[in-house]
Structures are given as C-alpha cells and as structure tokens.
Structure 1
C-alpha cells in the first residue's frame, strides 16, 4: 500500500503541476511530491517535545526535547519549556518556530540538524507563530494580552508590536504577503492588517469569541477560521471588503482547518475533536464531501507539499494520522508524543543525510492510558487520556454530549454506575456546543486501573451546582 500510495503521489503531483501549476498553502510554491527529505512536525503539550516524522516511510525518527514533564518543570530554577503548543515554519523550510504557552516562549529550531538556535521570550500565553511569506518576520499571537509580537527572523528579537483585540488566537498571511489575518480567542472580532504598514484595514465578525486556528487557501481567494466553542468553521473573502462567504456547522470541539489542492479540486479539511472526525468540504460551493474517522480528539492538521496527503495530530491518542486525499481514508498512524497540538509538514526540510541528529527516543513521552465515558444509553461521548508524568498523570477529557453552557464536574466514583459519594477532580462549564476540554493532575491511572490490593475508582461526569455534584450523566466504560 505504501509503494502504491507513493507512486500515486508522484503521478498526481507531476500531473497537477504540469497542467495547472497547483500549489499548497501557505507559500504559493509549486507542488513538491512526498520525498525522504520531507518532515512532519508535531508540537506536544504534555511531554514538552516536538516529534519528527519521515512521511516517506511514515516512521517516527525521534523527538526534540524542549522541556521536562511534571513535577520537574515546577522548579523555580527550571529553564526548559512548558506546554509546547504552537508551530510554524519558514518559507525555505530551514527553521521551525515552536510556541510554548506556559513559558511564554518561541523556540527557533534548525530543521536540518534539529538543533535549537534561539529562544525568544514574549508576553503572557502566546499561542501560535508564523513566518511572513518573505521569511523576514515571525508574527507571534500573544493570546494572554492584546498584541502580536513581530520578531526579526534573523536576530530573533522583537522589532514591533501590532495591537489587536484582546486575546489574538493566530495569524496567517495571504500567499502574496500583503495581508495578515488575525483571529481572536476572547473577542468575536477578526482583524485584518496590511503587513507592510501595520495598519488595520478590515474586520470580520466572528460568530463566537473562541477562534483557535486560521488558514488561507492555496489560490489566495479565501480565508477559513474555526470556532471551538460553538463548533463552526467560517470562510470569508481574502480580499477587501473581506465579506463572509459561509458559516458551516462542523461539530463540537472544532479545532483546526487546512487545505489540499488536488486533481479533483481544492478542499478544506476540518478537525472535529468531539466526534473524532475530519470533515472535508469543497471551497467552491462549500458542500461537504465526506467525513473521515481518524481517532481520538483530532487537533492540528497540515497537507503534504503536493496535497496528496493530509496529516492530523490525534491529541488523545498520542498519534499522527496520515490521510490519502485521493481516497480520503487513513493510510497510516504513527505513534508520537503526548497530546499533539499544532502540526506542520515541511517539504525538503532535510536536504542531506538522514536528519536524525539531535533527536531522542520517544521513551516516556509515549506513555499514556486511554478511557471512554458513555452516556446512560451506552453511547461513547467522552474520551479520556492519562499522560504519564512519572508517578502522576495529566488527565485530559474531551467531553461532549452534554447540555450547552451548563456546570459539570469530572469526578471519581466508588461504584461503576456512579452511585454513592463522588470525589470531584475538576469543575467545568460546557461550551455552547455541549462540549469541553477538562484537565486534572494526580495518580489517577492507579485509581481507575488498580491492582487487586487497591480499591477501584471510576471516572464519571456529573451535573454540578453550588452545593456539589448532582446527577451522574456519563460513566467510565470498563
């Protein structure tokens, strides 16, 4: 299958490039068929690593370790990165810009050697970073504040700031480099800036405040962004007056969007974490083409250099899924680090050699346990991952199937059906789509999967009010 897919990739890549000079976003370059020097990178939030995958073989080569897990990263003398999350890359494919939310940093990595070149510290809780199409600047959205930090890509120093609505989520650029589109994670307002003058030239209303991701189409005509809280994707015109073209209901925990331009046309691929799917839409008439089941909590997504594949990070499965865009089916799944967030596919990242220099084995970064919570009718509704951090785990639940905008509690129960006293782990509020991402820390794996000498506990989700947990609505499937 791999050999057939590889041949098909080459044939399609040559055919498209020769007939229509097809190209993939964001750099408006001619197609580059999948090759051994290509790399897929995944920024991993709980292992604080960047996984490096060879797409020619769909094999993990190793990880770039940017920090330690808990509790080492709690020390006042700790120098590593925390919550490795965002990921961008330069137009020439020679540099990565990796954003760590918890340590307020952007780490610049040489793709040929996997070596850290520099770490630049910015304001509170940066989220994503991306290079301008000329490769001279990196725009970092500082989500905990109200600006984008503009960093010189050569000196790695901040050269200016672009003031935005509070909580900028991500910046992407038009392929010609003229416009910067900056969505917001805290305000229902997307801002468009002229890159050269830094002046704001447009506004696009967001149907909700929480936009985590934005992408421009390869043809430069549209920009799409996702709304995680209400489960929608929005397409608008990339040129003035930046009018909204379509609002699409995609599903709970809609995460990222990206595009593939193939012989069949130009398509948007949207990750929907609450249903463990990738949904595919045409960009000409916005019709849904298909739905692809991919695994637990799909998050980041990026196309290969010729659009024959789409790579998806599975946040609650510690894996990278490769989709063949000809068949829209998963062709491979690669184990990677804990809770992958942003994904980047960099064609010709390694011009010479095997590109393994500086990489470490996955090791403990690949250790996790996985559970499912079901509703009273037995339907799977919430996926839970327990990411090992030594003796404790970071618990992450991708909760769905709940009532919108209601308080709930994730708790431990003494009985499998959730009856009896409950021990709360984390209170949370469901979003307008009836979903939420819930986190907790503790020796939870030892409780929900104990040896015979220890009493078992069972994860549940219960309704909540000011007095504490109420009716149990989801229970752990054994």
Structure 2
C-alpha cells in the first residue's frame, strides 16, 4: 500500500483504469426504452431496500445519495455523503446504508454508515485505497469492500463498526460478492498476469483459498445465483463467464453479450441474469438455464449499475453519462 499520493485522479479516470467505466457512446436505438428519473450528475452505485420500496443511488457528481420511491418513481429524499462516493449497499434489515468514499486528500478511503430512517451519519470506518464496490453478508454481520489501488478487500464487523481484516488479492479488485452462507467471498481481480480472474476468500480465515484461472482480458462484475452454486463474471472482452463455485471451473462457453459489460445481477428466482453493457448502451438478459441471451434492453448513455426489485418485476439502471436512473418493467 502506498504511503502517499503525489496527485489525485478524477473519479471517472479511476473507474476507467479499473475497468468499471469507459467513455460512453451513442446507443444502437434512437429512443431508449423505460422510464427515466433525473437524479443529478454522474450517478453510479444503486441499491434496493429489502422490501423493494426504495432505491438508493450514489450520485458522485453531487456527493449525495438520492432515494427513489419505487412505486411512484419519484425522488423522495436526498442526503450528503461526500465527494467521490462510488457505491453503496443496504443492510439486510433495511436499517443501514453503507457508502464507500474515496476521501479527498486521504491515502485511504472510508466506509460511511447512515441510518435509513433519519439519513444521519452514524459511523465512519477507515478502509483501503480507492474503494469502488462493496457487499454485505446475508446475516448483516460483515461488509466487504473492494479497494482498487491497495489491491485489497477490507472486512468490516458491523456490530462494532471496526475494520477487522485487510485481505490482499491479485490485481485491482473492482467487485465483490458473498456466498449465501457467508463462508466464501468472491473478488473480481482486474489487472495483469494471474489478476484477470476471481479470488476466492475463506471468510473465517481471511485467506485466498481458490482462483478459477484466467477468465479473460479484464474481469469486472460479479453476481451469484441465489443458491450460491454459480458465479456470473463479466469481462471487458464482451462476454460473461459462468463459474461452478463447487468445482471452481467454468461452465460451458463464455456467453457473448454487449460491448464493455460491467455490472451483473441475478434475479431472486435465479432464472435470469442481467448484464449492463456500457459501450453498447444496453442490458443483456441471460436465461440461466440455457446460458443464452434472450433479450436486450436499450438504455440511455453510459449505463453503470443495475438493481432489481425483490419481486423481479422492475430493473433500475444508473446512467453515468445521462444523469438519470432508467427503470424497466420486466
């Protein structure tokens, strides 16, 4: 880990270097489908509350989080979180919002904790350098943060509000996912050599216990199926790899999707995987049984992240290049 920072990149440059963002281009269709909700400059991370009634959006350009009512599709609240807040997650009980922030003039970033009822900050925890993604364990006891520049994953005990471990991985980690039983943590390593793969961390020991091998030129987003048996991994080559978490091997051939796929999520019933393609301005819909694309949703400029309502009826997509969130009825 570096002990000083001679200069500071802008957030967009950091995301581009990590493979999480590239310059958006025009979409294939003139009129993007779905309803758009204006939220402000450079929306990136998005998270849904467990009851599906609210969507929280990290708006990096304004240093705020916008809260959207998913029934009326209107912003109902906004609260400051600081500049360069890239991603966020909601606790399983819906009472806390965790926001990662690459704090200005600081070597390391911070994990901010907010009360979802009052939107007041209740905690600030030091983490690694340039945090870009995070995940909460299903029991809510741990938060895992992927730190690009420190090549590490910060492990947070939510009961004490303390960082309990820093796990070093290959390359620059850009995404993280936790198994349903909380025993394994999967990290997308984007870099060179062995780094273009996924590190598998034993949550109990903090040791890297597996790596399914090189998956492409630059791994990016991760999503587990609800049963935890398969891991969907996007790659900037324009494909999605499916990994059997029991064997650590890929299942079948890579699935071709759009250009520069970034984020991915799997529906609660496990039947569909949704892949955000930033350069094609689209979302590819994969049938998880056949591992084939069965639909493509056109988006506005620069789609970044996606979240589904728990009933699987709607998808919310942040448009980094469009200052909005786009909503699709599925």
Please say whether Structure 1 and Structure 2 have the same fold, judged by a TM-score greater than 0.5: yes
Superposed CA deviations along residues 109-149 of structure 1, whole A, max 9, x for unmatched, are 11121111112222211111222222111111111012211
In structure 2, the partner of 1:41 is: 56
Equivalent-residue separation in structure 1 for 2:248 and 2:179 (angstroms): 12
Equivalent-residue separation in structure 2 for 1:250 and 1:189 (angstroms): 19
Instruction: Give how far 1:251 is off.
Output: 2.4
Classify 1:209/1:86 alpha carbon distance in 2 versus 1 (closer, same or farther; 3 Å). farther
Instruction: Give how far 1:261 is off.
Output: 4.0
Structure 1 residues 267-286: aligned runs within 5 Å: 267-286=272-291
Native 8 Å contact 2:176 2:185 kept in 1: yes
In structure 2, the partner of 1:159 is: 164
In structure 2, the partner of 1:174 is: 179
- Residue segments in structure 1 that go unaligned for 5+ positions in a row: 1-25, 68-81, 326-478
In the superposition, the TM-score normalised over structure 2's length comes to 0.78
Superposed CA deviations along residues 218-274 of structure 1, whole A, max 9, x for unmatched, are 23221112223x2222211122x2211141222222110012245xx7101111111
Instruction: Give how far 1:102 is off.
Output: 4.9
In structure 2, the partner of 1:244 is: 250
- Residue segments in structure 2 that go unaligned for 5+ positions in a row: 1-46
Native 8 Å contact 1:260 1:308 kept in 2: no
In structure 1, the partner of 2:35 is: none
Equivalent-residue separation in structure 2 for 1:293 and 1:284 (angstroms): 23
Instruction: Give how far 1:286 is off.
Output: 0.7
The one of 212, 217, 242 equivalent to 2:220 is: 212
Structure 1 residues 285-364: aligned runs within 5 Å: 285-325=290-330
The one of 219, 226, 229 equivalent to 1:221 is: 229
Higher relative contact order (CA 8 A, sep 6+): 2
The one of 242, 266, 269 equivalent to 2:271 is: 266
1:142 maps to 2:147: yes
The one of 76, 86, 97 equivalent to 1:61 is: 76
Equivalent-residue separation in structure 1 for 2:161 and 2:99 (angstroms): 13
1:257 maps to 2:261: no
- The number of aligned residues is 275
Classify 1:261/1:122 alpha carbon distance in 2 versus 1 (closer, same or farther; 3 Å). closer
Equivalent-residue separation in structure 1 for 2:140 and 2:60 (angstroms): 26
The one of 202, 208, 214 equivalent to 2:210 is: 202
Equivalent-residue separation in structure 2 for 1:307 and 1:112 (angstroms): 25
Q: Which has the larger radius of gyration?
A: 1
Equivalent-residue separation in structure 2 for 1:277 and 1:95 (angstroms): 31
Native 8 Å contact 1:259 1:302 kept in 2: no
In the superposition, the TM-score normalised over structure 1's length comes to 0.55
Equivalent-residue separation in structure 2 for 1:89 and 1:172 (angstroms): 14
Native 8 Å contact 1:273 1:299 kept in 2: yes
Equivalent-residue separation in structure 2 for 1:188 and 1:136 (angstroms): 29
Structure 1 residues 47-196: aligned runs within 5 Å: 47-67=62-82, 82-103=83-104, 104-186=109-191, 187-196=195-204
Equivalent-residue separation in structure 2 for 1:242 and 1:285 (angstroms): 20
Native 8 Å contact 2:135 2:177 kept in 1: yes
Equivalent-residue separation in structure 2 for 1:113 and 1:238 (angstroms): 39
